[in-house]
Structures are given as structure tokens and as C-alpha cells.
Amino acid sequence: MEEVINSIRRASELVQNLQQDLPNLANQPETLSLSIDQITQAFTDAKEKLLLISRHTQTSESPPMLLHETTPQQPQMDATLIQEWLRSSHAVTMDQMFQMQLASMAGREVEDSERTIGSEGDQGQGIHASSSRPRRSREGNQEKKKILVPAPQFGNTEMPPEDGFTWRKYGQKEILGSKYPRSYYRCTHQKLYECQAKKMVQRLDHNANIFEVTYRGKHTCHMSSTAPSSVPPEHILVDITQNTNTISSQLSPSVNLTLHPATATAATTSARGGPSTSRYAGDYPVLDMADAMFNSGSSSGNNSMEFLFSPTEDKSDAN
DNA sequence: TGCATTTGACCGTC
DNA sequence: GACGGTCAAATGCA
């Protein structure tokens, strides 16, 4: 543990040095980049050591545990951070993840106030004043789950990392007081499977590298036997439809993302590859892979590599 | 040809 | 009336 602390101290020192030298380094991008790399490396070292300690503790003291079943204490925060990092396909650096953590903590205040607003209840019950176009009532009391997701550094940085579902963009809106527009997505299979899941994506004003993603509604597209993914991502459905407050009060959603071995398969990309469309065969494949690597002794009893490369399911989309 | 994205307009809520 | 969420025609792409 001492090594971890030393690594963190070293990283902190580097950050302080960088802050002091920032005015001088502003014209030296290469030096600046090098400095950032050093900081990143220091934090990464600390994280890796923490991970090792965490693994050791977990295997020696307690049975494997689903992450969301743990209490949001410090070790859990670390695991969350690492998971977020893994989930972003290493597209963000570890120090960005720390930024995210800070941003997320700041976001709690927003969510607290939102909770108040959300609890006002649904007043619209599908009464449409207009006859020109049938419209759905606003789902005011629908459970929401707000999360912060790092923007990829490579590829399409306009979109947050894929989240295991396929989404179709149906709108974009400039939001008052926000620098960046909010994008609206619904499940690709909304019509086919009457899937009501939706999400809104918006960059944070103060940190364009982080997306605030708000999920609403349940994914029902996995319930059908003919559904595109044969395994219902139950853990995610639960997260979306419940515990809005609980989830919001924690660091990030990944705290609550149960790693379901049965859902893990290699990731595939859309044949059409639309920028906002993500198609994972399973859910959070990167997380699953990490789970396989780090928690291979889980209660499932499956060989971790077997579940990673399970040949059992062709999860290609029904599109 | 079919599906996804864009974008202006529409509509409900406050 | 302002704002946010949604619709749907137009457009793009493979």
C-alpha cells in the first residue's frame, strides 16, 4: 500500500509542477505532452498497484462480489475508476478519469436538485391537445439514470463510448445555458420490439471530454426470443428502471453494472457503422473482459476464457 | 433500397 | 412564452 501512496504522491507532485510551469509550457506542446504522460503513468502505476491489492484482498478475504453490491467506499471508487477506464477502451488517460470523478462528484449536486424536480410526478397522461400529430405524453415520472462517460480520444470523439445497446438518434437540441447541444437517442429496436429505452447525451460545459448520458425507460428488445440479443441484460435493465437516486449519488453507473458472464462476447460493430449506433453482442464487453481477467475465479465457475470467446451465440443484430 | 442522421417544426409542461 | 422532448421530411450513405 505504501507503494501506491508513493505513486500517488509522485503524481501529485508532477501535477503541481505542471501547474507551476503551465504558463511556460503553453508554447511547448511536446514538453507539455511529456509531462502529462508522466502524470498519467504515475497515476496508472498507482491504479495498477491498487488493483493488485484489491484483487488480493478480494480473493483472500471474501468471495467474488458483484460491484454494485459493494458499498460506495474508497476501494469501490477505485474499482469504478478502473472500470470506466477499461470501458472507454483506454481512450482516456487515468488522470482524465480522475477529472471525471471530480466532475461526477460535482454532478451529484445537480442530480440532487433533479431528484426534487423529478419527484413532482407525471401530470401528462397522454392527453393530446393536438389532433395533427399523435404524441406521447411526457414521461415525467419515468426513472432516469444519469451517468458520466468519458469521450474517446480516438475515433469518433463526438460520441461517448458504446454502451452495449443499439441507439438511433432522433433529435438534437440546443439547451439553454449549455455550451453543447443535447442529442436524443432511442433504441434501434423501438418499433420491432416496442423497446421504450431512450437516452440523452450531452457534453459537460466545463469538460468537453465528458459526456453526461441520461438513460430512460426499459430495454424490452432483449425479452423476445427473436430479439437481437438473446440474453437479456437484466442487470442494466434494473439499473435503468430503479435506484435513480442511488445510482446518481454514486460516482458513476459502472459502480452498479453487474458483470454478467453470460452476456459477454466479443464486441462487434455495426455493419453500417453509423456514428451513434453501437452494437455489442454482449453488454460492456470491455468490462466483461476485464472481469474475466480480474475475477476469473468468480462463482460462475466458468472458465474465463471460455466465456470470453464463447462460440454459443451469434448475437448479430436482427436489423 | 433501406436504414441512420439531420434539422426545423410541433407540442406539452411549467 | 420559454424551454425541452419528439416527430417526420429531407438527406446521406452503403
Per-residue pLDDT tens digits for A246-256: 333 333 333 33
Between residues A299 and A165, the one the model is more confident about? A165
Residue A282 clears pLDDT 60, i.e. is over it: no
Strand C bases within 7 angstroms of protein beta carbons: 2-8, 14
Residue A311 clears pLDDT 50, i.e. is over it: no
Q: What is the mean pLDDT of residues A122-136?
A: 39
Residue A9 CB partners (closer than 8 Å, separation 6+): none
Residue A65 clears pLDDT 60, i.e. is over it: no
Containing A41, the helix (H) or strand (E) segment is helix A29-61
Residue ranges per structural domain of chain A: 104-117+140-308
- Tell if A184 CB is < 7 Å from nucleic strand C: yes
Residue nearest to nucleotide B6 (CA to C1'): A171
A144-CA/B3-C1' distance, Å? 28
DSSP 8-state code for residue A262: G
Residue A218 clears pLDDT 60, i.e. is over it: yes
Which residues 236-275 in chain A have a CB closer than 7 A to strand C? 272-273
Which residues 8-67 in chain A have a CB closer than 7 A to strand C? none
pTM of the model: 0.49
**How many angstroms separate the Cα of A104 from the Cα of each of A20, A30, A73, A314?**
26, 30, 15, 36
Residue nearest to nucleotide C12 (CA to C1'): A274
Residue nearest to nucleotide C3 (CA to C1'): A176
Per the prediction, chain A carries an average pLDDT of 55
A181: number of Cβ within 10 Å: 14
- Tell if A135 CB is < 7 Å from nucleic strand C: yes
Residue A101 clears pLDDT 50, i.e. is over it: yes
What pLDDT sits at residue A100?
53
Q: What is the mean pLDDT of residues A270-289?
A: 37
Q: Please give the single-letter amino acid code of residue A134.
A: P
